[in-house]
Amino acid sequence: MTITDVRVHLTGGGTTLKASASVTLDEVFAVRDLKVIEGSKGLFVAMPSRKTEDGKYLDVAFPVTRDMRDQLQAKVLAEYEKALQKPH
């Protein structure tokens, strides 16, 4: 599976949420509402999730393999860095 498009939208706020993102896989399947978050160990990509009745968050779409997760995170964070460099 290949990540064929990544779109990042900066949030512009001073919170830990730095951006939202959408990715397209193999030019035929899109996943929206990924989040770029500043954590205690640096930036990471959080998958789209929903809150359950007991208050926990459950990912609704996610990479199954570590390799795909690493590819996804690398591509989204690279696009995030590019978005930071663009004049607003």
Q: What is the mean pLDDT of each run of 10 residues along the chain (88 residues)?
A: 96 89 97 96 96 95 96 97 88
Domain ranges of the chain: 3-80
Residue type, 13: G
Q: Of 15, 3, 1, 13, which is closest to residue 74 (Cα–Cα)?
A: 3
Q: Which pLDDT score is estimated for 23?
A: 98
Q: Which pLDDT score is estimated for 88?
A: 65
3-class state of residue 87 by DSSP: coil
Query: How many Å apart are CA 47 and CA 43, to the nearest integer?
Result: 13
Q: Which pLDDT score is estimated for 72?
A: 97
CATH no. of 3-80: 3.30.1120.40
Query: How many Å apart are CA 79 and CA 49, to the nearest integer?
Result: 21
Q: Residue 66: in which H helix or E strand, if any?
A: helix 66-85
